[in-house]
Chains A and B, each alone.
Chain A
Amino acid sequence: MDLAALYDEWVSRLLAYMISITRDRHLAEDALQNLFVKLAVSQPEIRNPAVYLFRAARREAIRSARRRRMEPLGPLEFLIPVTIPGAPVELADLTSALGSLPPEQQEIVILHGIEGFTFKEAGEIVGAPLETVASRYRYAIDKLRGLLEP
């Protein structure tokens, strides 16, 4: 396993995901380091890198976040705009709206709505059944509509 290549390909997304969980940049960095140390030692065979890495990153981030109180998500930067012509996005508004969601709904919006994982993959990452994941997403979207769409 080429850890450097794995790092270069995934670090930006994984670190952002971990920040959204820990609400703390330094905790997320420590958790990311722990993740790569474990990968270096165990050298697992990874079939689906995206699902495997996000699931492992989530586990490490939650482990780190339990050691500190949760901070608000609003001021944290973990989203970057994708260039779509004529579609300017107010990142602050979106981040703030995401931060108002319960954590279990927020992560499904991030995984499915933003990162494009299927409900099944998102369920594997968070360790929840597909129906639960879909239900959380529907509730989250309803809340976000109320906040973001006039």
Chain B
Amino acid sequence: MNLEEKLKSVRLGVASDGLRDRVLRASGAARFERRVWDWTAAAAAAILVVALPLNLGPNTDPEPGTERGPEENLPGLEDAVVIPRYSVDLYVDPAQRRDFEVPQ
């Protein structure tokens, strides 16, 4: 028998007793997990498809009859004096510092 015939006289093969249940159980569990994930993703997508057109988010629209935003509608706000807010880095001439002192 030459070498090529020797090679043809064998084939790959090994006993695999006890392995079948383990492999198929792990495969089944992985497939189930994947299906659960797919269902969850599909359900989330369906909820978004329904919820977005209904505009179920927080209502930020102005009150009826007012075009201004809600914070501009506080009573008396139109009479308030607007005081600009200065930076703490504002340069102050030491000679003028007393003008800024708060009276005790």
Contacts and interface: CB of A to CB of B under 8 A. Distances in A.
Interface of A: 3-4, 7-8, 11-13, 15-17, 19-20, 29, 32-33, 36-37, 39-41, 77-82, 84, 87, 89, 91, 94, 109-110, 113-116, 141, 144-145, 148-149
Please classify the interface of chain B as helix (H, G, I), strand (E, B), loop, or mixed, using the class held by over half of its residues.
helix
Contacts of B7: 94, 109, 113-114
Contact of A82 (B3, B9, B22): B9
B2 to A, nearest CB: 7
A15 B9 contact: no
B78 to A, nearest CB: 65
B11 interface: yes
Contacts of A115: 11-12
Interface string B2-46: 111111111111111001101110111011001000000000000
Nearest to A149: B3
Contacts, number: 105
B37 to A, nearest CB: 10
B81 to A, nearest CB: 68
Contact of B19 (A20, A32, A40, A41): A32
Contact of A37 (B1, B4, B15, B27): B27
Given A89-B10, A144-B3, 19 more contacts: A11-B20, A11-B23, A12-B14, A12-B16, A16-B13, A16-B14, A33-B23, A33-B27, A40-B28, A79-B10, A79-B11, A80-B10, A84-B8, A94-B10, A109-B7, A115-B11, A141-B4, A148-B3, A149-B3
Interface of B: 1-16, 19-20, 22-24, 26-28, 30-31, 34
Which residue, of B4, B12, B16, B24, has the highest number of chain A Cβ atoms within 10 A?
A: B12
B30 A41 contact: yes
A37 B26 contact: yes
